[in-house]
């Protein structure tokens, strides 16, 4: 049970306080309700570029990192297709430093041409390091637009192409900040060994004079129902051919989301899933095969991906995979396996909940989804899932017309 208190400032900032008496550290986590899905198609990669700029100095503080490091702390941030999340971890008795820093950059940034120019280069190097200079690195740049035709999940957080980042102007950046970085679009969580009254007083002190801003309306093109099988084959200079089957699945808040999550766990069990037994153990079609979900807030993807063994054709593998998926659709998984999956989830949860940083991030994320208490309720949803639920959802999911297939053909093989 993760206990927490909630309050809201008059400028709209939502605040969660999580008391933990066992730690000498404090966490300040700020979630902004802005992700790559909020970008326009002509200016992709902005949410992420912006995350970099948030460290380039704010209106009263030239260097964010330096001040936090002086206080013995460290910080980082990440951007997804849905959110941008910043966190600071520091000794609890220096909490005020983190509040000072986070409130100042929520108040206003001090953009300079130089910091924009440098961070553009840094992000371009990140683009190269992660997406261009790795075998299979560009897979998600290819798979997203295959699976999504309208919804902005069709581009990756790094952006659709480097030129969008190269062409970002000061004007663009200022506008982006004004629109998305305001108290009414943020959720703050503070965790550590404090009293609620103290937290209320300090948060009020640092954040209450920041202008509320207007929570931006989210107008996102919804993805039309997929009605046809899609396929893209690309040749790449890689040693092994790889496959990515992407099935459209339920959005984050839908009950089916949880069923899909368990189903992906079932198909990914190391050395014992049906995929592994049939496609690797019985007949060595693949060297590796995994199933996972993207976990996005809007309609997500259920992925089955892996690499073919030498000499195996995509066609042979494809037939064998659909046979296995049909089996999954026809025969419910056994009660025993379902229980084992649930115990594994409980164990993973118990480990994740140990750190206050994880708890703080999750509290903010669940609050964004509607209620921070989701952190304590989610396992109840999982517990109610039955073998029949899974079978029935598998039938809905594993339809050829619900699938987009990306094949990376190895030139070296």
Partner 1 sequence: MIKRKNAPSLKAIEKINFISPVKIQLGEHTPFFWMKEVPNETARLDFIFHAGTTRGSNLISSLVAGLLFSGTDKKTSTDIHNELDDLGAFFDVGLGHESVLVSFYALKKNILAVFKIFEDALEHVNFPQNEINELITDRKQKLKINSEKVGFLAQREFQKNLFHGTNYARQTELEDYDTVRREEIIEYFSKNYKNGLRKVVLVGALEEVQVTEIAEKSKKWCLHEKPLFENNFNNNKGIFQLKKKDAVQSAVRIGKTLFNKNHPDFLGFSILNTILGDYFGSRLMKNIREDKGYTYGISSTEAELAKSGYFMIGTEVGSAQKDLAIQEIKNEIELLQKDLVPDEELELVRNYLLGQLLKSADGPYAMTDLFLSVDAYELDFSFYESYIQKVKNIDAEELRALAVKYLAWDSMTIVIAG
Tell me which residues in 166-225 interact with partner 1 (CB under 8 A).
205-206, 209
Give CA torsion, residues 233, 234, 238, 242, to 10 deg.
-30
Q: Sheet with 286-293: list strands edge to edge.
A: 230-236, 403-410, 242-249, 300-308, 286-293
Residue 1 binds partner 1, judged by CB under 8 A:
no
Residue 281 binds partner 1, judged by CB under 8 A:
yes
Q: Which of residues 29-48 bind partner 1 (CB under 8 A)?
A: none
Q: Which tokens belong to 354?
A: 């140990």
Q: Find the shortest distance in angstroms from Cβ 129 to partner 1.
A: 5
Residue 235 binds partner 1, judged by CB under 8 A:
no
Of 100 and 317, the one with the shorter C-beta distance to partner 1 is: 100
Of 240 and 364, the one with the shorter C-beta distance to partner 1 is: 240
Binding partner 1 (rule: CB under 8 A), the pick from 31, 71, 297, 333 is 71
How many residues bind to partner 1 according to rule CB under 8 A? 82
Range 247-284 burial, b when 16+ CB lie within 10 A, else e: bbbbebeeebbbbbbbbbbbbbbeeebbbbebbbeeee
Stretch that binds partner 1, among 36-44, 66-74, 292-300, 377-385 (CB under 8 A): 66-74
Q: Which residues contact 300 (CB under 8 A, 6 or more apart)?
A: 248, 249, 250, 251, 252, 257, 260, 293, 294
Q: Pick the closest to residue 107 from 8, 11, 207 (CA basis).
A: 207
Q: Which of residues 349-408 bind partner 1 (CB under 8 A)?
A: 350-351, 353-355
Q: Which of residues 305-334 bind partner 1 (CB under 8 A)?
A: 307, 309-310
Binding partner 1 (rule: CB under 8 A), the pick from 189, 238, 297, 304 is 238
Binding partner 1 (rule: CB under 8 A), the pick from 277, 316, 334, 400 is 277
Of 39 and 88, the one with the shorter C-beta distance to partner 1 is: 88
Binding partner 1 (rule: CB under 8 A), the pick from 9, 13, 25, 139 is 25
Complete DSSP assignment for 77-132: EEE-SS-EEEEEEEEGGGHHHHHHHHHHHHH-B---HHHHHHHHHHHHHHHIIIII
Complete DSSP assignment for 184-211: GGEEEEEEES--HHHHHHHHHHHHTTS-
Of 153 and 177, the one with the shorter C-beta distance to partner 1 is: 177
Binding partner 1 (rule: CB under 8 A), the pick from 288, 335, 377, 383 is 288
Binding partner 1 (rule: CB under 8 A), the pick from 24, 42, 171, 222 is 24
> d(Cα 96, Cα 92) in Å, to the nearest integer?
9
Residue 234 binds partner 1, judged by CB under 8 A:
no
Q: Find the shortest distance in angstroms from Cβ 50 to partner 1.
A: 16
Stretch that binds partner 1, among 71-79, 175-183, 217-225, 399-407 (CB under 8 A): 71-79
Beta-strand runs (E) in 133-285: 186-192, 230-236, 242-249
Q: Which tokens belong to 239?
A: 């040693």
Binding partner 1 (rule: CB under 8 A), the pick from 96, 172, 256, 378 is 96
Task: Tell me if 190 sits within 8 A of 76, measured CB to CB.
Answer: no
Q: Find the shortest distance in angstroms from Cβ 282 to partner 1.
A: 11
Residue 72 binds partner 1, judged by CB under 8 A:
yes
Q: Find the shortest distance in angstroms from Cβ 31 to partner 1.
A: 21
Q: Which of residues 114-153 bind partner 1 (CB under 8 A)?
A: 117-126, 128-130, 132-136
> d(Cα 235, Cα 169) in Å, to the nearest integer?
35
**By CB neighbour count within 10 A (0-12 exposed, 13-18 middle, 19+ buried), where does 343 fall?**
exposed
């Amino acid at each position: 049970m993760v206990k927490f208190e909630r309050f809201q400032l008059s400028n709209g900032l939502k605040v969660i306080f999580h008391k933990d008496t066992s730690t000498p550290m404090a966490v300040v986590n700020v979630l902004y309700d802005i992700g790559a899905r909020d970008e326009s198609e002509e200016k992709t990669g902005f949410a992420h570029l912006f995350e970099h700029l948030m460290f380039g100095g704010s209106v009263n503080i030239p260097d964010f990192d330096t001040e936090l490091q002086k206080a013995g702390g460290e910080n980082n941030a990440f951007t997804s297709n849905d959110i941008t999340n910043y966190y600071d971890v520091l000794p609890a008795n220096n909490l005020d430093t983190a509040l000072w820093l986070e409130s100042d950059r929520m108040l206003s940034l001090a953009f300079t041409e130089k910091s924009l120019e440098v961070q553009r280069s840094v992000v371009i190097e990140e683009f190269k390091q992660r997406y261009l200079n790795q075998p299979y690195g560009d897979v998600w740049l290819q798979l997203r637009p295959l699976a999504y035709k309208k919804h902005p999940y069709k581009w990756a957080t790094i952006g659709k192409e480097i030129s969008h980042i190269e062409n970002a102007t000061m004007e663009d950046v200022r506008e982006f900040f004004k629109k998305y970085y305001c108290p009414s679009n943020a959720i703050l969580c503070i965790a550590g060994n404090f009293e609620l009254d103290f937290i209320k007083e300090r948060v009020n002190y640092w954040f209450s004079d920041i202008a509320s801003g207007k929570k931006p309306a989210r107008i996102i093109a919804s993805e039309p129902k997929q009605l046809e099988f899609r396929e893209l084959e690309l040749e790449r200079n890689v040693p092994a051919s790889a496959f990515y089957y992407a099935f459209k699945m339920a959005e984050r808040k839908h009950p089916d989301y949880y069923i899909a999550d368990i189903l992906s766990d079932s198909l990914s069990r190391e050395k014992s899933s049906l995929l592994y037994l049939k496609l690797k153990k019985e007949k060595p079609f693949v060297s590796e095969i995994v199933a996972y979900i993207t976990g996005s807030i809007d309609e997500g993807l259920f992925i089955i991906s892996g690499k073919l063994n030498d000499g195996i054709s995509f066609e042979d593998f494809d037939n064998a995979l659909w046979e296995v998926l049909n089996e999954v659709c026809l025969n419910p998984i056994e009660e025993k396996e379902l229980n084992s999956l649930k115990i594994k989830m409980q164990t993973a949860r118990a480990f994740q909940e140990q750190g206050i940083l994880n708890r703080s991030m999750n509290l903010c994320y669940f609050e964004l989804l509607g209620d921070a208490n989701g952190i304590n309720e989610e396992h109840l949803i999982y517990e109610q899932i039955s073998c029949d639920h899974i079978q029935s959802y598998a039938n809905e999911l594993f339809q050829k017309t619900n699938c987009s297939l990306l094949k990376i053909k190895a030139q070296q093989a």
